[in-house]
Chains A and B, each alone.
Chain A
Amino acid sequence: MITAAVRELSFGQAINEAIRQEMRRDPTIIVMGEDVAGGAGRAHLGLIDAWGGPLRATRGLITEFGPERILDTPIAEMGFLGAGVGAAMSGLRPIVEIMFVDLIGCCYDQIMNQAAKMHYMMGGQVDLPLVIRTAYGTRGGDNRTYGGGAGAQHSQTLYSVLAHIPGLKVVVPSTAYNAKGLTIAAIRDNGPVIVLEHKFLGSSAKGSVPEEAYTVPIGRAQIVRRGCDVTLCGIGRMTHICSEAANSLLSEGIDAEVLDVLTLSPLDEGTILESVSRTRRLVVVDEDTPTASMARDIAARVADKGFDDLDAPIKTVTAPDTPVPFAAVLEALYTPSAAQVISAVHSLFGTGA
């Protein structure tokens, strides 16, 4: 029996290890994006590997795999993501980084009309093994020490506009462990998968990660804390906010279950409905803006298919329908907090302020 070594890795390091292990295994995997290595073409000056993306998730890959497989691109999201789509149709398994999800406006056609639809509209004759990695989220919320300050065009969550498109798989890891497992699952998937990585988790979420390669299955939610009074359904970083709220609620005698959605599309309705059938109450916590959002989609599905199990109305805790503000005090107000989750739970029990 092999005893796997387990170490503490950051979220970014876990993704780095996932990509590195898969690239060693499969020579058709390439990485493309702006500054995925950084300092391209300066190897002759002894300068290489200058950046590695916002989470440093691709740092060091170029020294192992070389510039043929780790491709720094010009600032041309439409062009290089399109090249990723074409390469995925013709024998490669590209991992393309869009630095921030806010930049998908520059390449949305490649996601929405091209990658997502190729397999379907071509009658199943092509696979499209493409991974799109992108960073999202504010830095506000309960933890203000990290500072905000990226403003309305570099802090969005925006995954609802991706999950809306049939044919795309959209995953949102929340820990170093599931970041590695979901990244490997995304790389091995024969269709397009978007992995959304929270900027704040990139620097804060350290956790135990096995050394060997493993997958966390796409399309399955996970119950991360068992409870019997209410289901707190979180996405990405919001799962941590839910756990924080659950800890606090326990002290007042409310035993909350925390569910980590992990895959937005295809959504694991079964696990969510099963949890709600036991707890009979649901709060969905989502950092995205609420109109036409995942939070309301999950709420609607539970209202449709689990209404008889509910003892109280479904609550959502989300960002407001505003752009992300710049000032730290406003950004903290914008980002859903544990206090808001607790308050939503209180309203279900008719308690609290």
Chain B
Amino acid sequence: MLPSREKLLWMYERMTLIREFEERLKWLVETGVPVGAVHYYTGQEACAVGLCAALEATDWIASTHRGHGHCIAKGVEVHCMMAEIYGKITGSNRGKGGSMHITDVRVGMLGVNPIVGMGVTHAVGAALSAKVRKTQQVAVSFFGEGAASIGAVHEAMNLAAIWKLPVVFLCENNGYAQSTPVEYALSVPHVADRAAAYSMPGVTVDGQDVIAVWEVAATAVERARAGQGPSLIECMTYRYYGHHQGDDAHRYRTKEEEAAARGRDCIRRFREQLLEQGTVNQDALDAIDARNRKKIDEAVAFAEASPLPQPADLFTNVYVENQGERE
């Protein structure tokens, strides 16, 4: 089964918007715009978009330090993201978070979270909330193969399994935890092998094939929504750049390996697939690309023109205010 034409076009639009956002951000960083620490998602677009294509707007996701793609796939506005990365008051987090904390709960985005593995526990909490409140929402936890080694992830998986929570664990295995290769750090061939320890389905899928990701995601989301508990999906993917903006990936991986990964580029493959199947013609896809470029132009202009936080903002939102407290 394939997604509807409308959904296919949405998937293409989101994947290319992520790519455009990250490439523009990289260019801005390299021209000296001081945006703090950023972790480019370029190369992994099919994972975020394939998964989010299987979700409803009211579902939740929790993300990782490499979170721009997850945000865009779930519907966070790119101008709010760009302004946040610029540290402006108009940013998604009013300039208090930056790239590593972008959040928009209005669209079900529970937060980029750079403490590796912690977002996984929060997704499990959102799933618990959905179950207790009987809302039929599903929560998705994105995490990397590096996070597969931290205890919090295993504690969270065990909780989700024993309580049969509506959660999908989506591991993006991009081969490297910073500079540590997966084959060194993982005790099993695949992260998905560990699903057996928590009595949940575990599947490894080509993370460069957005339709393949969407298919397994749809199954896992359906299972979660039906009250049958969690699933683990491992997407085999690749980040095109270093761990963060200052990281030289050639100190731990070869140019040949990178070229091979780029040869399987998820956006180019999807574009070819759409054209081959006659879903859409080239002009329509070019028009989407052009719209995305314009969107990012506008996002950058918005971020640059936005005001900085005021000194008084240092002290706001330390504690949650209790206006309307019930007595």
Question: Could you list which residues of chain A lie within 8 angstroms of chain B, going by C-beta atoms?
Answer: 28, 30, 68-69, 71, 73-74, 76, 78-92, 94, 109-110, 113-114, 118-129, 166-167, 169, 188-191, 215, 266
Contact = CB atoms under 8 A, between A and B. Distances in A.
A125 B93 contact: yes
Interface string B288-324: 0000000000000000000000000000111111100
A80 B113 CA distance: 17
Contact of B317 (A74, A85, A88, A124): A124
A73 B160 CA distance: 11
B118 A79 contact: no
B76 to A, nearest CB: 12
Nearest to B93: A123
9 contacts: A79-B155, A83-B124, A86-B125, A89-B122, A90-B105, A92-B133, A109-B118, A119-B319, A128-B320
B159 A76 contact: yes
B1 interface: no
A28 B133 contact: yes
B319 A90 contact: no
Given A86-B62, A123-B92, A125-B105, 8 more contacts: A74-B158, A79-B155, A90-B126, A90-B130, A92-B132, A109-B152, A120-B318, A125-B103
Closest 4 CB pairs of A and B: A86-B125, A82-B121, A79-B155, A191-B320
Contact of A110 (B105, B121, B132): B121
A167 B319 CA distance: 5
Interface in B118-173: 118, 120-130, 132-133, 135, 139, 151-152, 154-156, 158-159, 162-163
Nearest to A25: B326
A165 to B, nearest CB: 11
B318 to A, nearest CB: 5
A305 to B, nearest CB: 19
Nearest to B130: A90
Interface stretch (B94-102, B257-265, B274-282): B94-102
B111 interface: yes
Contacts of B13: none
A121 B156 contact: no
B216 interface: no
Contact of B110 (A28, A71, A74, A86): A86
Nearest to A120: B317
Given A76-B159, A126-B103, A188 B122 contact: no
Given A79-B159, A87-B128, A90-B125, A124 B97 contact: no
B327 interface: yes
Interface in B25-44: none
A80 B155 contact: yes
B55 to A, nearest CB: 15
B67 interface: no
B60 interface: yes
Contacts, number: 164
Contacts of A113: 115, 118
Interface in B265-287: none
B93 A121 contact: yes
A125 B93 CA distance: 7
Q: Which of B91, B96, B154, B317 has the most CB of A within 10 A?
A: B317
B95 A123 contact: yes
Nearest to A129: B320
B123 to A, nearest CB: 6
B141 to A, nearest CB: 9
Contacts of A28: 132-133
A83 B62 CA distance: 12
A253 B5 CA distance: 89
Contacts of B321: 190
Contacts of B105: 89-90, 122, 125-126
Contacts of A169: 319
B105 to A, nearest CB: 6
A85 B101 contact: no
Contacts of B45: none
B35 to A, nearest CB: 16
Given A79-B152, A109-B115, A119 B320 contact: yes
Contacts of B101: 121-122
B309 to A, nearest CB: 10
Contacts of A118: 111
B103 A86 contact: no
A90 B317 CA distance: 18
B325 interface: yes
B162 to A, nearest CB: 7
Contacts of A89: 105, 110-111, 122, 125-126
Contacts of B155: 74, 76, 78-80, 82
Contacts of B159: 73-74, 76, 79-80, 83
A188 B325 contact: yes
Contacts of A90: 60, 105, 110, 125-126, 129-130, 139
B38 to A, nearest CB: 16
B97 A110 contact: no
Contacts of B133: 28, 91-92
Nearest to A107: B152
Contacts of B60: 90
Nearest to A117: B101
B121 A124 contact: no
Contacts of A125: 92-93, 103-106
B92 A114 contact: no
Given A69-B132, A110-B121, A127 B319 contact: no
Q: Which of B103, B115, B121, B154 has the most CB of A within 10 A?
A: B121
Contacts of B319: 119, 167, 169, 191, 266
Contact of B320 (A68, A79, A92, A190): A190
A120 B125 contact: no
Nearest to A69: B132
Nearest to B113: A114
A340 B115 CA distance: 44
Contact of A92 (B118, B129, B151): B129
Nearest to A77: B155
A169 B94 CA distance: 23
Nearest to B94: A123
